[in-house]
Amino acid sequence: MHKVSSKFAKINCFWLLAVLLLSTSSPFVQAQNETTPEEENRTFQYHTIASLGDSTLGSDPSGYRGPFASVHAANLMDLDYYEGAVGGDRSWTLIDAGRHTTIAENYGNGTLVTMMVGAWDFIDSDVEIITGDYSFIDELDENITIILDTLVASEIDVLVWNLPNMSFLPFLTQIFPTELHHYFTEASNEWAIRLNQIAERYGDDVQVFDLMTASDDLLQNKSARMILGNEVTSPPMVCAKNCIMVDSLHPTSVGQGLLANYMMDAINEKFPSPNGTYPLLSEEELLSLTTLTNNTDEDSTEPASIFIEGEITEECFDWAESTYRDMYVTITIDSEYIPIPSYVGFNTELCRQSTHVMYSGEEAIHVVSNVENMLTLNHFFEIWGENLSATTLLYKDTSDGGEITLDVNGVRYEGDWSAIPLEGVISLDIVYTSPPVMTVEEDIEDDSLPGFSMVLVLASTLLAMAVIRRR
């Protein structure tokens, strides 16, 4: 009888323990999910959209690359818009200029920042990337974290864009051979993963817009580029109105419109409004950003030739009606690399677009290829405001015995230095080398021979004669 009661006692203890475990496991399972009904139904109310990053989201003096996707978003959401994006910004230049702190100090809760940073960090690191060195991502990670910390501390929400697959960017594919493009794909994927990890640290306050997937869709799926039966042309073709890209780096106005709809889908998913789903741009609105109609073909991607009247270095022109190619200029003075400033001749006092140089990125200069006038390297230096001749390079000249050499496409140039042609030129290497500097020992030796030796011989002879006489 005692054994039976003991057995029942054990069974009761077992069930009591099971019930206890079950009751404690329920909260544990709920904690794993970490989504309460309130969080699932969370909505976001905004008064302002602010852009932050580079020229994909801001800075379009030409007018052929806007409205930007963030401007479309502000209009579709009926919000104020602040443009904080600046063309050519790297992650560190954005921080140095304090563009993130300007937004943080002047805006707060109710602000959504649309941010894309990193494209120029990629481009600046292109030589490292093609060797499989992606260490620049660590610095980009640190800088993005600095920016996000500042914005989130001001109760600002952020929709941060990752980057497109950079191996499809014409700016890079025109420079590097096909067999190296996969490195840019790997680096782009690595950054996308890293950005997701960064965003997770901020919870709902920071969300990622997957630009990589959106751009892949636009580039690879014809249906994604169709607007009321008209196809928008994808890279590598570029044009002003009816292509995805207006040049080797920037989306066109319609490209921005197409991207805006992908971004609006992301906003509706990640930052839903209490008033319902935000609208997208209609096909009619997208079509208005082009010159496409159901009855006309796409605008020509081969603009007519242009003849410039007057001084080539002073005339202005509509660059969107022109075609460009890249030319790479490297300047070295006594083994020191001299970078060419960005936007040489761009938005000058004379005109918004200088005659044939849109901008430079230390080496890559965009040259109009359909100008009938004979364009020369000298024109570029005139626009830059610097010196170039067979005897002068920037602030150095050959009057002290130095030498200036010019290699065109790897071959030493022997022509007329007053009119160095650009037609068909891909690379230019300009080098100034100072004359060799003699050491003190060399100077003494050179100045003393043969005179100093003769003095020594004469002195030795006189000394010997004196000794003989004394004896």
What is the rounded CA–CA span in Å between residue 102 and residue 108? Answer: 11
Tell which residue, 61, 90, 67, has the closest CA to residue 251.
67
pLDDT digits (tens, 9 = 90+) for 265-283: 999 999 999 999 999 999 9
- How far apart (Å, rounded) are the C-alpha atoms in residues 23 and 26? 6
Cβ(363)–Cβ(329) under 8 Å? Answer: yes
Give CA–CA dist 326/428, Å, rounded. 12
pLDDT tops 70 at residue 74: yes
What's the DSSP call for residue 227? E
Give the neighbor-by-neighbor strand order of the sheet with 80-83: 80-83, 48-53, 111-116, 157-161, 206-209
d(CA 217, CA 164): 11
- Per-residue pLDDT reduced to its tens digit, 391-405: 888 888 888 888 889
List the beta strands (DSSP E) in 307-354: 324-333, 336-338
Q: For residue 430, what are the β-bridge partners?
A: 331, 406
Residue 190 in tokens: 């690595």
Is residue 127 predicted with pLDDT exceeding 60? Answer: yes
The CA angle 218-219-220, to the nearest 5 degrees, is: 100
* Span of 102-106, 107-111, 278-282, 300-304 with lowest mean pLDDT: 300-304
For residue 458, what pLDDT is reported?
54
- Average per-residue pLDDT for the chain: 79
pLDDT at 211: 96
Examine the pLDDT at 197 and tell me if it is beyond 80.
Answer: yes
Which residues are 326's β-sheet partners? 366
Percent of the chain with pLDDT over 90: 41
Q: pLDDT digits over 167-195, tens only?
A: 888 777 767 778 889 999 999 999 999 99
| Cβ-Cβ contacts under 8 Å for 207 (sequence gap 6 or more) | 157, 158, 159, 160, 199, 266, 270, 271
**E strand spans, 390-467:** 392-393, 396-397, 403-408, 411-412, 427-433
C-alpha R_g of the chain: 33
Cis peptide before 450 (omega within 30 of 0): yes
Does residue 289 contact residue 242 with C-beta atoms inside 8 Å?
no
Distance CA 162, CA 208 (A): 7
Provide the 10 A C-beta neighbour count for residue 58. 24
* Residue 306, beta-bridge partner list: 371
Instruction: Select the more confidently predicted residue: 24 or 228.
Output: 228
